[in-house]
A = this chain, B = another copy of it.
Amino acid sequence: MSQQRMRVLITGAGGRIGTTLALHLRDRYALRLHYHHAPPNPPVDDVVTGDVSDFAAMQRAVTGVDAVVHLAADPRTTAPWDSVLPNNIIGTYNVFEAARQAGVRKIVFASTNHVMGMYDRDHQWPVYSHLPVRPDSLYGVSKAFGEALGRYYADRYGISVICLRIGWFLSEPHDEISRWMWLSPRDCVQIVWRALESPLPFGIFYAISNNSGRHWDITDAMELLGYRPEDDAERFFTDTAEPAPDAS
């Protein structure tokens, strides 16, 4: 880290992941938080509001930051086109383009396992991040669009773009699905700062914890980002397991 802290905008900071990132990254970076509607007591003072489909609002949001963590989206796998189009497709273009115009050199894009969800439906495992996309929803299609757009901005403009295919962000796994796709809060925080501080020109990585039962490859995230996940969902399911460190 340089003496001057990196100035990082988080879009969609009011969501579940954004809330966690804001609390755990506000000491590491000079954070600006973007909300659709600002909360009464935001975790930092530097707050912007606006709709991601409003390009001028996104221009204001990115002014003066070094990096963007782009979370804002309609995250529902059932989201209809009328929402996916403005919130996920137009919104992501607006954030990338506004960031480029403002000289931002790093974007961490919150992608999703749903870009590849049809491999999971068919139990075609393991899934590697470089396989052809097989989205399971318009939401997944919109995130595949965002990854392709990110690749273009990386190749064309030299912006470092890291796409994180986030598994299932939960405080604790609770069923067979979350047993293999869990992303713990602290592992989420770690992989985001690893991505922010990575010199890679571009990358797409699965963002899940070190779950023994996982079906998605995290080798590249460990090798190329230096990601060292601390959690494994398995300890919540194994009767003989040691008590969890935080459950004493």
Taking Cβ atoms with an 8 Å cutoff, the residues of A that contact B are 81, 85, 89-90, 93, 97, 115, 118, 121, 130-138, 140-141, 144-145, 148-149, 151-152, 155-156, 204
Shortest A84–chain B CB gap in Å is 9
Residues of B within 8 A of A149 (CB): 141
- Asked if residues A152 and B138 are in contact (CB atoms below 8 Å), the reply is yes
Shortest A6–chain B CB gap in Å is 27
**Other-chain residue from B85, B136, B138, B155 in contact with A118 (beta carbon distance below 8 A):** B155
Shortest A162–chain B CB gap in Å is 14
Copy tally for this chain in the complex stands at: 2
- Asked if residues B135 and A152 are in contact (CB atoms below 8 Å), the reply is yes
Known: A89-B89, A90-B85. A136 touches B148 (CB 8 A): no
Residues of B within 8 A of A81 (CB): 93, 97
Residues of B within 8 A of A131 (CB): 130
Residues of B within 8 A of A85 (CB): 89-90, 93
Residues of B within 8 A of A145 (CB): 89, 141, 144-145, 148
Which chain B residue has the least Cβ–Cβ distance from A121?
Answer: B155
Shortest A216–chain B CB gap in Å is 16
Bound state CA distance, A85 and B55, in angstroms?
14
Residues of B within 8 A of A132 (CB): 130, 151, 204
- Asked if residues B151 and A134 are in contact (CB atoms below 8 Å), the reply is yes
